[in-house]
């Protein structure tokens, strides 16, 4: 879909930002260089009349993005996870973007359900309500199953939304290339990578089977977490354009009056929100990355219910260990250890001075720990940490920024429930539990055993590999064994012997 239409869409976008007054805000917050500012003005100012007017009651940036439609709203939500790219203040503004849009007709939703699931809707649902929530990508209906009468939530994609997003994403790629061309400083932030991440996220959200799979995996991981639950997916009534989940009764986490009226302990709920997020991120490496009040309910029995699994975050095992050690180092004020972890992980180049880095980390931690408990913020700590590590040459790590952004959102939810909570008190048990289970002697033995199993899988290939290395002829059909090849064989055999020894030691431990 590359073509001049992308330039036209870019002009319409710039014109809308000019007309709503958002252009200055965005350029200032992103600290855009001169060339990028000139290009934005040339695209927007002369064509101001082409821009959408938007809702004048909204702040400029929110007004512009909402006026431009679903793709821009979703992009704004994704960019709110990248304060390194758009700046802290703009990321905060984007975080409150709401994608509440007018619903499409129920008759159209019923037709889409029938087409996707290939059954008459009366054969599936005895009741099918009008839309109870409508967002940029899909809307939700309440229904009852034929047979047992169980209440469910049915999520249905907007008609034509995939084509609309494909067209807009194509224009976003065009804009990212233009930014990289006009701003050498912006290349470090990798705008094309940002749009690729957005593209991948939206592709997953446009196939509700992916969200259903995310909900299923999240539910399996958290099945034994007391006080937290995830709605069960009805796979028989889910497809590409339809997802059916158990209906969960409860009050929205944002409705404090209803929470109080139901007799729930808000202080305990606040601690549980923090604890559950850290447990999922550290223990499972799979966390809800859009954990705001609108996606959380409090069930009648006090359980926290998570909803909407379109944006999930993953951390590999090594990153989890690094993150836990960094947090615990700050909790214990062991800044030297925090610095060592960064160097060991390769986050900071080895040619930098570790003592200077530790001193810079102290400048991050001490002011925060000197604050009143109600002002301590792990999200702020991570944001300051990224600023320092950037100065010492650490490259942008998207997974950590998503974690930091989600931490800020979760802290906001917890503070709303209990403004006086001490976040470190709530976080410390989860971090210590993870470190105890994953960084001690047992974890070391478990790692060794896992390494042995991986190496042992190569055992059946050893005879063939040795014979191939020794007998492979050259062009003159002569057998020649290079010194490197012999060395590889020796190391391979030694690795297998070591693996066997490690397996025995690990089993004994």
What three-state secondary structure class fits 151? strand
Residue bearing tokens 């040459």? 393
* Whole-angstrom Cα Rg for the chain: 27
How far is the C-alpha of 211 from the C-alpha of 274, rounded, in Å? 23
How far is the C-alpha of 154 from the C-alpha of 294, rounded, in Å? 17
The distance of Cα 22 from the centroid of its chain, to the nearest Å, equals 26
How far is the C-alpha of 320 from the C-alpha of 318, rounded, in Å? 5
Distances (CA, A) of 248 to 251, 252, 303: 10, 11, 11
Report DSSP letters for 429-490, one per residue. Answer: HHHHHHHHHHSSHHHHHHHHHHHHHHHHTTGGGHHHHHHHHHH-B-TTS-B---HHHHHHHH
Sequence-distant (6+) residues with CB within 8 A of 339 are 354, 355, 357, 358, 361
Annotation marks residue 484 as catalytic: no
* 116, 225, 234, 290: the active-site residue: 290
In this structure, are strands 228-229 and 304-306 parallel, antiparallel, or unpaired?
Answer: parallel
Percentages helix, strand, coil for the chain (3-state, rounded to 5) are 65, 10, 25
**Positions marked active-site:** 290
């Amino acid at each position: 879909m590359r073509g001049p239409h992308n330039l036209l869409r870019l002009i319409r976008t710039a014109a809308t930002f000019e007309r709503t007054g958002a252009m200055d805000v965005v350029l200032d917050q992103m600290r855009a260089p001169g060339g990028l500012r000139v290009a934005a003005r040339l695209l927007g100012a002369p064509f101001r009349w082409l821009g959408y007017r938007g809702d004048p009651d909204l702040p400029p940036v929110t007004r512009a993005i909402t006026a431009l439609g679903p793709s821009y709203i979703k992009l704004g939500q994704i960019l709110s996870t990248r304060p390194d790219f758009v700046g802290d203040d703009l990321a905060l503004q984007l975080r409150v973007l709401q994608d509440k849009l007018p619903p499409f007709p129920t008759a159209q939703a019923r037709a889409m359900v029938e087409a996707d699931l290939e059954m008459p809707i009366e054969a599936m649902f005895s009741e099918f309500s009008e839309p109870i929530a409508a967002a940029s990508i899909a809307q939700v209906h309440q229904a009852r199953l034929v047979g047992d009468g169980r209440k469910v939530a049915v999520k249905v994609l907007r008609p034509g939304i995939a084509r609309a997003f494909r067209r807009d994403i194509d224009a976003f790629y065009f804009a990212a290339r233009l930014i990289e061309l006009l701003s050498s400083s912006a290349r470090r932030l990798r705008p094309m990578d940002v749009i690729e991440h957005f593209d991948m996220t939206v592709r997953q959200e446009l196939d509700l089977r992916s969200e259903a799979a995310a909900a299923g995996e999240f539910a399996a991981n958290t099945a034994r977490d007391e006080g937290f639950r995830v709605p069960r997916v009805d796979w028989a009534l889910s497809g590409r354009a339809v997802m059916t989940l158990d209906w969960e009764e409860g009050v929205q986490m944002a409705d404090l009056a209803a929470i109080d009226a139901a007799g729930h302990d808000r202080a305990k709920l606040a601690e549980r929100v923090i604890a559950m997020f850290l447990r999922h991120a550290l223990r499972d490496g799979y966390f809800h990355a859009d954990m705001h009040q609108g996606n959380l309910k409090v069930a009648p029995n006090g359980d926290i219910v998570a909803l909407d699994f379109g944006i999930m975050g993953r951390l590999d095992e090594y990153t989890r260990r690094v993150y836990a050690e960094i947090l615990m180092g700050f909790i214990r004020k062991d800044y030297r250890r925090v610095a060592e972890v960064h160097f060991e992980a390769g986050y900071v180049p080895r040619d930098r001075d570790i003592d200077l880095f530790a001193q810079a980390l102290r400048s991050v931690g001490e002011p925060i720990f000197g604050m009143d408990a109600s002002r301590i913020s792990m999200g702020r700590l991570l944001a300051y940490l990224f600023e320092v590590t950037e100065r010492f040459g650490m490259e942008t790590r998207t997974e950590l920024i998503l974690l930091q952004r989600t931490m800020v959102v979760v802290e906001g939810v917890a503070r709303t429930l209990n403004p006086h909570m001490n976040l470190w008190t709530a976080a410390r048990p989860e971090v210590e539990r993870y470190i105890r289970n994953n960084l001690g002697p047992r974890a070391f033995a478990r790692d060794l055993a896992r390494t042995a199993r991986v190496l042992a899988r190569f055992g059946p290939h050893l005879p063939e590999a040795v014979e191939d290395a020794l007998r492979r002829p050259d062009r003159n059909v002569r057998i020649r064994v290079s010194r490197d090849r012999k060395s590889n064989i020796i190391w391979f055999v030694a690795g297998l012997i070591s693996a066997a020894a490690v397996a025995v030691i690990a089993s004994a431990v």
